[in-house]
Each structure stands twice: as structure tokens, then as C-alpha cells.
Amino acid sequence: MIIADDASTSPLKTPTGSHAPSTSRDDASEIIPPPSYYGSMSDPTISSGSSVPRSPYYQHSRPPPSEQLPSYYVPLQQPSKPPNDRGWSAVKRFARAFLAALIAMLLFSILMDSLATIWRFRSSRNDPWSQLPLPDIDLDGCNAVRWKKVSGYTYDASASLFTDAHASLNISPEERDDLLAMSSRGKDNFPLAARAYLDMPLTDDTFMLIAQGARQSGSLHVTTHSKRGDDQAHATVTVKYLSSSALARTHICPLSSRGIQGLGIRTPTSRASEDLSAQIFVIIELSLPASHASKIDGFQTHLPHYSQYITDMGDVRFSHMYLNGTSSPIHAANVVTDTLVIDTSNAPITGIFNTTSMIQLTTSNAPIDVELGLAHGKESTPTVAFLRSSNAYVLPRPLLLLSDSKAPRYTISAETSNKDIDLTFPTSPLDAAVVTHAKTSNGAARVAVHRAFEGDFVLSTSNAPAVVDESGAEDPTGKGRRRTVWVDSQGADVLVASQVRGAVSWGERRRTYGSSVDITSSNGRVTLIV
């Protein structure tokens, strides 16, 4: 049984002693609150005598009536920090903001690259000529040579020559068929043909062959002639076409101004019409005099979608040669020039090239398989050979030739990606200083130096071994010297080390050498054969 005692007192109901609260306004007024530093007395919370503080952080709130203010100041306990540290939260916020900014910059960069690619593609569709580094030459309104229509089958010698030139390429049968199609581009599908002839004197000017406009492709075949007293260049240009309107829009123009001799082929630049009958195939047969007493100052081609074949030029020499094309192979049976630059894409570069100054060969998505004859002149600068491709192998064979220089110097550099590099030196002067660079990725790199080589080497790769292979070469001087190879590898076993440094010398190791080899790859084996 529960007995309710209404008269009983409870500490909660009737506190006793001096701590009992007063219900009188006069009693409440006797308690003087501390001064307020954060609000005015007009604040409803303070002026009304409310017993509830505004905030646990508000130190000078009016105390409840049940509390007795101490005679000395006692600071309130600071609130504990939340479980998640605010400093760590700031770091996380900064990291998130930085990551977001990085992603935004990456996306912006990808967008700009895409827009630039689209712009270049559309520009090249409108006029491939505009993308080439050419002098300011405009074939519009030129005094074009008249065409003479021909009947019967028109033979293109360069097609069979390219078949022979590419026979040694280490490519699949499918790739070989693509090369053959690229060299001819369906020329046999054009039933109509017209021809024009040009005779051009060879002067100190640069001889140039250019093609401007759209819907044209073709081939160039350069040969020599030895007619006595004939110092002119002869060009036979054959156009294969589908309709008379396509021939009417095709112009062949002689060039003879501003230090340039040669010819140009012009077609409309617009690709708005998708009429296939506007397509043409041009065969250029150029014959240069073999009896020309001095060097031909310069020879340049700017022929997009034209395959280019240069036969053995014999005694013909060039001061400089620049061969430019796109999506078409370039081959030279034998060319001698001081400076050579070949630039194409999606097609191989093959042949034999000789220089006394510089060779630069550049392509993409296709191999480079060449033999280089490098002779050092009397200049102090080294003779340079630079080869670059992508997604295809690079196979140069530099022959370092004897020269008049007492200390011949050479620099050879070969680069590619996703395929192999194989660089071999069949010949070299005894006192030559040779600097060699070979770089690839996701492929193997192999360099076989000549036995006369003395110098430092650095081999570097990842996820594959770096190997130095001693071939047991004999002393090239015939003095019976012993060849010494010093290998300092990063790893306990030389055969599995991914980075190897060392030197090769006939006799004692020297502090410095004039020659060096640097071989770099990733995910592929690197090998130096000494």
C-alpha cells in the first residue's frame, strides 16, 4: 500500500537553509550579476532573470537562483573537443579540394587536347598543305602546263621497286599488303590518264616538288640520266583520273622564283563534295643529270599521300635534302647529302643514306630500317643521326666511315615505343668518339658497339634484366691488347640487375672517355654487346 503524504516535505520541493530560493522579486534583486561582456542588459535572457544560460560557452550568463556565487573567480571548464579532430578535418578538406582541383585541371587539359586535335584534323581535311612547314608558295593562278591525254596501261615503276625494298622488313603479311596498297593507292582503278612534260634547269636554287589540295595521292620516282651535255632535270607527270572534270581541276605548275626551282601540283582544297570521281592519282617521274659537275644545292619534297622512291643516285650529291610526306613510305636506294631530313607518318622509312653532317628520320606507327653512312667532316661539331618512330621497331646500322678529321665525333640516337630497338655498328674509325642513345618502352633494346669502342655505359630498365655481353673481340690495332669490361650493377646478380653501369677499355681503365652508351627501356630487356 502506498500512502500519499501531502504534508511531507521533499528536498526538491522545500529546500532548507540558506540555499532556498526566493520567489520574491526583491530577493532576486539582491543578487548582483557579474558584468556582461558579450551582451547588453537589454538582452531578454539577462533582463528577465531567466535561469537558463544562453550557451555553455557563455561564461557570464545569469546564474540560476539556486546557485551561490563564489567569493573568488572560478573559470568554467572548457568543453571537450568533438571526437573528430578539427586539425585532421582541415587536412582532409584540403586534400579533397586539392584532388578536385587536380581532376578538374586534368579534365580541362584532355578537353583542350581533344579540341586541338579536332581543329588540326579539320584543318588538314580542308588543306593538308597548311600543316606543312613550307615557304609561302601559292599555286593558284599559275601558268599551268597543258595535259595530253594518253590511252593504254600506264606503268608505275615505283610500285615494284617498293615491293623489293620492303621485302626485308620484319612485318606481317597483312602489314606488307597494306604497304603495297599504300604505295599504289588503287591507281589501277582509274581508267583515264593524261600526261605532261617539264624540262627544268638545275641552278643554285633549291629544287622542290610540292602538292597542294585535296583528293590527290600518288608516287614519286627519282632517277638519273647521263646524256652528254644535258644538265637539265626532266619531269614526266601522269595523272590518272575518273572524270574529265577532275582533270580540269588538276594543274601542274612550274616553279621558278625566290630561290626555288621545280614543279607543283594543284587541286581544289575543298572536301565538301563527296564525289569520288574527283579523286586522282599522280605519278611523277623525275630524272636528274648524273653528269652534274657540282652538288645540287637543295632537294625538297612536300607530297602528302605520295610514296617516294629515290634510286641509286651514283655521283649526284646534295647539300641538303628534305623529304616530307604523310601516310606514305619513303625509300632511297643510295643517297649522299650533307644534311638529310625525312618526315612521314604511318609508313616506313627504308634505304641507304649517307651524310657528313646530320640525318634525321621521323615516322610513326611504322618501322625504320636503314643503313647509315656517317662521315665526320672538318667541323668541330659531331655528325649526328637521329631516328624516331612509335609502335614499331627501329633498326639502324650506322657505318662510321673514315674521314679527314683527326678526331672524328658521332652522335647516334634511336627512339621508339612499344617495340624493339636493335642498333649495330659494323664499322668505326679507331679513334672515333661515339655517343649512343637507345630508348624504348615495353620493348627490348639492344646495342652492339664496334670492337674499337672504348667508353662508359649505362643500362637501365624495369621488370627485366640489363645484360652486358662480352663477345670476345680482338684488338682492332693488331697489338694484342686485352679488352677489359668493368661492370658495376645494382643487384647481387649481374644477369638479373635492372640497372648496370660500367666501362669498356683496351688496357687500363681511364677516368674519362670520349665515347658512351646509354640504353633505356621499361618492361623490356636491355643488352649491350661489347
pLDDT tens track of the chain, all 530 residues? Answer: 344 444 444 444 444 444 444 444 444 444 555 554 444 444 444 444 444 444 444 444 455 554 555 555 555 555 555 555 555 577 788 888 888 888 888 888 777 765 654 554 444 434 333 333 445 566 655 667 888 888 766 666 666 677 777 777 877 777 777 776 666 555 667 889 999 999 988 887 889 999 988 889 999 999 998 877 778 899 999 999 988 889 988 998 888 777 788 899 988 887 645 567 788 999 999 999 887 556 788 999 999 999 999 999 988 999 999 999 999 999 999 999 999 999 999 999 999 999 999 999 999 999 999 999 999 877 778 999 999 999 999 999 999 987 777 789 999 999 999 999 999 999 999 889 999 999 999 999 999 999 999 999 999 998 899 999 987 788 888 888 888 899 887 654 545 578 899 999 988 877 778 899 999 999 999 999 99
Sign of the C-alpha dihedral, residues 401, 404, 406, 410?
Answer: negative
Supply 273's cell numbers.
Answer: 563534295
The one-letter amino acid at 223: T
> Nearest 5°: CA angle at 8, between 5 and 10?
125
Can you tell me which residue has the cell 637539265? 232
HSE toward the beta carbon, residue 27, CA cutoff 13 A: 9
Supply 491's cell numbers.
Answer: 643487384
Q: Mapping DSSP to helix (H, G, I), strand (E, B) and coil, where does residue 51 land?
A: coil
Beta-strand relationship, 499-506 and 483-489: antiparallel
Distance separating alpha carbons of residues 374 and 111, to the nearest angstrom: 44
Distance separating alpha carbons of residues 111 and 121, to the nearest angstrom: 15
Supply 9's cell numbers.
Answer: 516535505
With a threshold of 0.75, does the pTM exceed it?
A: no
Residue 88: Cβ within 10 Å count? 9
Distance separating alpha carbons of residues 516 and 530, to the nearest angstrom: 12
Locate all alpha helices (DSSP H) within 344-470, ordered by sequence: none
- Domain assignments of the chain as residue spans, ordered by start: 134-352, 367-530
Any idea what DSSP says for residue 495? G
> How many helices (H) and strands (E) in the chain?
6, 26
